Amino acid sequence: MRIKVLQNRKLKIGIVVGEVSGDTLGAKLIRSFRERGIDVEFEGIGGPQMIAEGFKSYYPMDILSVMGIVEVLKDLKKLFAVRDGLVEKWAKSPVDIFIGIDAPDFNLRLSKSIKQKQLPIKTVQYVSPSVWAWRQGRVHGIKASVDLVLCLFPFEKNFYKKYDVPAAFVGHPLASQLALENPIAVAKQKLGLDSEQKYIALLPGSRRGEVERLGQLLLDTAKIIDKKHPEYHFLIPAINDARKQQIEALLTDYPDELKAKITLLENTGTESKVGRMVMDASDIIALASGTATLEAMLLHRPMVTFYKLHWLTYQIAKFLVKIPYYSLPNIIAGKKVIQELIQRDATPENLANELEKLMNPETAQIQVMQLLTMHKKLLAGNSEDPVEAILDIF
């Protein structure tokens, strides 16, 4: 009924995303609105996929790609200027709805500013911050500044229910998008790779700071693996030309014998799928902890995850985290399914050792079956339609 009413008027929706995964969700959301025959204009901060859908982006998406507590401090002035610029723009010409997709540190502050200015704008947070995991006190701020939280996982909606925060479980689009069966030979063929060659995917992350902080760790790991298991080759995705050049610069310090076994694949087109394609075509994955671990889980590829933060950021985070795991597969499973190497444990030697364990077919298959089980679990949840959930707050 709500959709039928809105088909007779024009909507204006503001969206802000800060990274590739948010850009993917944003583009899908834009298409979903239009597929229902709703006349909508979209503006704010978006990436190439959203822009290809006609989205008007006032700032480059990369401006929000800052990770960590300490790391954000040096960019605070710039981030405040972006936030204030959007608020000023929407104060003069309000959108009907503001949807912050992920990037919670920025988007929740933007929602708060919208409410404080008493702008006639409904606020939505699409992708819950990990409030159930750490800094749980944030839930009260979310309740005050957000009209609706769209949750990707069912346990998140249950958490918000305890605090009377309006929330809808809309599911993760990748759970239904990625097939339960995806032969690795087909994935290798799509990338023009040798179907008989064994590959290890090395994913330091898509941000400049992540490649800077974690790239050498992965390449040092590859060097160790190559000496012990020369039959393996390596795949590294680069989300754009800037990341490709950054990785190539790191590679100059490594021997030609190793470089000959490393294939660097750059993203092409507007859809940022190179990381997913690389993981799909790999026999084993080593990746920085983050949203990519969910993709690896849904691709059912054996993996090891790792992460290193600024030392002060890590010390602060240790006191705030309320759950025993860092990676989404382990959080969803409620137990350790994949190995996590965090901070001091994230060394080339430890990472190489964990990857070596997954070279055992039996060990790898046990993990694969657990990942497949979790994929099926996400598909079985009773999810709501995100467009209908958003429009219901009018």
Highest mean pLDDT pick, 204-213, 343-352, 382-391: 343-352
Q: Which domain does 360 fall in, by range? A: 177-379
For residues 274 and 387, state if they share a domain.
no
Cα(133)–Cα(100) distance, integer angstroms: 20
Q: What is the mean pLDDT of residues 150-167?
A: 92
Residue-level pLDDT at 389: 95
Of 7, 40, 71, the C-alpha closest to 317 is 71
pLDDT band at residue 137 using 50, 70 and 90 as cut-offs:
confident
Residue-level pLDDT at 1: 42
For residues 24 and 138, state if they share a domain.
yes
pLDDT greater than 60 at residue 68? no
For residues 197 and 337, state if they share a domain.
yes
pLDDT in tens, 265-285: 988 765 568 999 999 999 999
CATH number at residue 213: 3.40.50.2000
Q: What is the mean pLDDT of residues 236-243?
A: 91
For residues 122 and 267, state if they share a domain.
no
For residues 108 and 152, state if they share a domain.
yes
pLDDT in tens, 161-204: 999 999 999 988 888 888 898 899 999 999 999 999 999 999 99
Q: What is the mean pLDDT of residues 196-224?
A: 93
pLDDT band at residue 234 using 50, 70 and 90 as cut-offs:
very high
Cα(376)–Cα(378) distance, integer angstroms: 5
For residues 21 and 167, state if they share a domain.
yes
For residues 83 and 185, state if they share a domain.
no
Label residue 336 left, alpha or beta by phi (over 0 means left) and psi (-120 to 50 means alpha): beta
Domain count, the chain: 2
pLDDT band at residue 136 using 50, 70 and 90 as cut-offs:
confident
pLDDT greater than 50 at residue 69? no
Q: What is the mean pLDDT of residues 94-114?
A: 95
Percent of the chain's residues with pLDDT above 70: 90
pLDDT greater than 70 at residue 322? no
For residues 105 and 69, state if they share a domain.
yes
For residues 197 and 261, state if they share a domain.
yes
Percent of the chain's residues with pLDDT above 90: 65
Highest mean pLDDT pick, 170-174, 285-289, 330-334: 285-289
For residues 199 and 109, state if they share a domain.
no
pLDDT greater than 50 at residue 143? yes
For residues 96 and 231, state if they share a domain.
no
For residues 110 and 95, state if they share a domain.
yes
